[in-house]
Amino acid sequence: MKRYFLRLVLIACAFYFIFPMIPGVHFHGGFVHALVAGAIFAFVGWIVEIGAITLSAIMTITTLGLALLVLIPAWLFGFWLLPAIALRLMADFMPETMSFGGWIPAIEGGLIMLVIGIFTSGDTQKKARQRG
């Protein structure tokens, strides 16, 4: 539970403090708006991830596995785009709170979200405890 609360606070801090420093990203609102935006981002990110997994599974099943020749490299080189897609979708739902001036600022913001997600994942914390 602490991990999810920490992730939500870090995402809210990214919305409130870091995103306004990225050219082309506009966030309007206070820290409470950033907390709500963080919760919405988590939900939209989950939906985008489920959609990508479902689409990959359907493509793999319908092509009897041949789609894996394309899907595996696409996942390896394109997994970092999922947070950017989630940010753009979220901005479409909340245009009065957040907007992006193109895909490049969304990708930059998505990379920040990806780093936050990696550092607050349970696997990273377990590995750090095993080392120390």
Per-residue pLDDT tens digits for 26-61: 999 899 999 999 999 999 999 999 999 999 999 999
How confident is the prediction for the chain on average, in pLDDT?
90
Strands (E) located in 40-103: 98-100
The model scores a pTM over 0.85: no
Cα 9 to Cα 90: distance, rounded to the nearest angstrom: 18
CA dist., res. 111 & res. 13, Å (int): 15
Average pLDDT over residues 3-10: 90
**Cα–Cα dist 48/110, whole Å:** 13
- For the stretch 119-122, contacts whose Cβ atoms lie closer than 8 Å and that sit 24 or more positions apart, written own/partner, are 120/3, 120/6, 120/7, 120/10, 122/3
Model pLDDT for residues 69-93, shown as the tens digit of each residue: 999 998 888 888 999 999 999 999 8
Say what the pLDDT of residue 114 is: 92
